[in-house]
């Protein structure tokens, strides 16, 4: 199956999903975990920040606690409807529809880039990470939250069938291939036994 067909399928899947659910969250991602991740991103007041795959705006809401200059991009307007309800369509957040793997922003546009719960749906995650590096300024911090590879056999089967999961080694490979030199991973978990998130904090290399 070609890339385009995969992408078309992914979109139909989201469209359906957003009607039933808020988008499957393969890991448990709560406010405490988000706030911890926000501390790692360390956004300063006035920084221009991009939220890639902002969806319903859960990450966006956290970013707004740090700066007023927040930009949210998602391919699906259905997903964003909830974010519009929270922040208004053109009030506190600049929204765009776009593809994470072909970002519609000029080089070095952002002081920081955040993406949570989105990478597992990208057909070519390295492309997306490379694009994030391009639109972030040299020295900027990039934070990506994805699902850690599940331990249970059943969950692994479900996971592999519909989306991307990766462990720290997988994350190393993706971030290196996308041109990052400095990064670290944090495993985040709501409580013992719940599905884990893997959060990577990377620095955009100086060019």
Partner 1 sequence: MKESLLDIVCCPLDKEDLELDATEREDGEVIAGTLTCTECGEVYPIEDGIPNLLPPDMREEEEAAA
Binding residues (CB under 8 A) for partner 1: these are: 4, 7-8, 11-12, 15, 48, 75, 77, 89-90, 94-99, 102-107, 109
Q: Specify the residue, 4 or 161, whose C-beta has the smaller distance to partner 1.
A: 4
Q: How many Å apart are CA 33 and CA 183, to the nearest integer?
A: 19
Beta-carbon contacts of 112 under 8 Å, excluding residues fewer than 6 positions away, are: 41, 42, 43, 47, 49, 50, 136, 140, 141, 142, 143
| Rounded least distance, CB 149 to partner 1, Å | 28
| Rounded least distance, CB 25 to partner 1, Å | 23
Q: Specify the residue, 138 or 193, whose C-beta has the smaller distance to partner 1.
A: 138
Q: Specify the residue, 97 or 157, whose C-beta has the smaller distance to partner 1.
A: 97
Q: Which CB contacts under 8 angstroms, 24+ apart, belong to 92-96?
A: 92/64, 92/68, 93/54, 93/57, 93/60, 93/64, 94/70, 95/54, 95/71, 96/71, 96/72
Q: Specify the residue, 12 or 187, whose C-beta has the smaller distance to partner 1.
A: 12
| Rounded least distance, CB 175 to partner 1, Å | 22
| Rounded least distance, CB 97 to partner 1, Å | 5
């Amino acid at each position: 199956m070609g890339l385009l067909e995969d992408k078309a399928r992914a979109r139909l899947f989201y469209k359906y999903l957003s009607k039933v659910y808020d988008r499957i969250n393969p890991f448990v991602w709560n406010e405490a975990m988000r706030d911890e991740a926000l501390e790692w991103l360390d956004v300063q007041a006035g920084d221009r920040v991009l939220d890639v795959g902002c969806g319903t705006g859960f990450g966006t809401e956290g970013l707004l606690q740090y700066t007023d200059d927040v930009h949210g991009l998602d391919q699906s307007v259905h997903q964003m409807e909830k974010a519009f309800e929270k922040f208004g369509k053109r009030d506190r957040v600049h929204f765009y529809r776009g593809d994470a793997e072909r970002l519609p922003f000029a080089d070095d546009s952002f002081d920081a880039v955040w993406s949570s719960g989105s990478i597992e749906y990208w057909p070519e995650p390295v492309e997306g990470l490379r694009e994030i590096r391009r639109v972030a300024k040299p020295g900027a911090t990039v934070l990506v939250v994805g699902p850690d590879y599940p331990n249970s056999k059943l969950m692994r089967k479900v996971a592999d069938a519909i989306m991307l999961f990766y462990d720290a080694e997988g994350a190393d490979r993706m971030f290196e291939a996308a041109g990052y030199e400095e990064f670290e991973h944090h495993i985040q978990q709501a409580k013992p036994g719940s599905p884990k998130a893997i959060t990577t904090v990377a620095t955009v290399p100086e060019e």
